[in-house]
Amino acid sequence: MQNAAYAPPMKQAADLLRVLADEERLRILNLLGSETDGLCVCELVDALRLPQYQASRQLAVLRDADLVGGEKRGNWVYYRLSPNLTPLAAAVLEALRVKVDAASAKEDTERLRRRLRLRAAGVCTLGYPTQAQYREVISLEERRA
């Protein structure tokens, strides 16, 4: 029989670990943790090479878990890590940021840095073209011209 005094903290920890048990969500959190000004979905799509619907679906899971929040600016919503993370969530995310040193995470970060250079006055200006399933097929150089 489970001790009632331990049930809520254990359930919170189990819920957090379930949300974090997805590579795409971890990649999103890694990028959001590196950018304090927030990122729009199209910037995440470009950096992670995911279809827009998939990035949005993963962001919804992270929002529901109170790990990320969004702020609407003009036509775009900018996502960032929640400022109200539980101590457990903050500690786990910090440990992941320090320990996850995979080549794919570095590639995501490099693609994000290149994508952020396309911002104008600190905001995204490109959006997501609906005719393309994946942003990676669209050359960033073509978009600048």
Domain count across the chain: 1
Q: How many residues does the chain have?
A: 145
Please write the tens of the pLDDT for every residue from 107-136: 899 999 999 988 887 778 776 555 545 444
Question: Could you tell me the residue range of the domain that residue 66 belongs to?
Answer: 7-136
Burial class of residue 121, CB neighbours in 10 A (0-12, 13-18, 19+): exposed
SS3 76: strand
- Residue 142, domain member (yes or no): no
- Residue 141, domain member (yes or no): no
- Residue 13, domain member (yes or no): yes
- Residue 107, domain member (yes or no): yes
pTM of the predicted model as reported, rounded to 2 decimal places: 0.79
- Residue 144, domain member (yes or no): no
Q: What confidence category does residue 12 fall into, taking pLDDT thresholds of 50, 70 and 90?
A: confident
- Residue 2, domain member (yes or no): no
Which residues, 6+ apart, have CB-to-CB distance to 12 below 8 Å? Answer: 86, 88
- Residue 79, domain member (yes or no): yes
Instruction: Give the Cα separation of 14 and 9 in Å (integer).
Output: 9
CATH of the domain at 64: 1.10.10.10
- Residue 145, domain member (yes or no): no
- List Cα–Cα distances, 94 to 47, 89, 99, in angstroms: 21, 8, 9
| Distance, first Cα to last Cα, the chain | 66
Q: What confidence category does residue 87 fall into, taking pLDDT thresholds of 50, 70 and 90?
A: very high
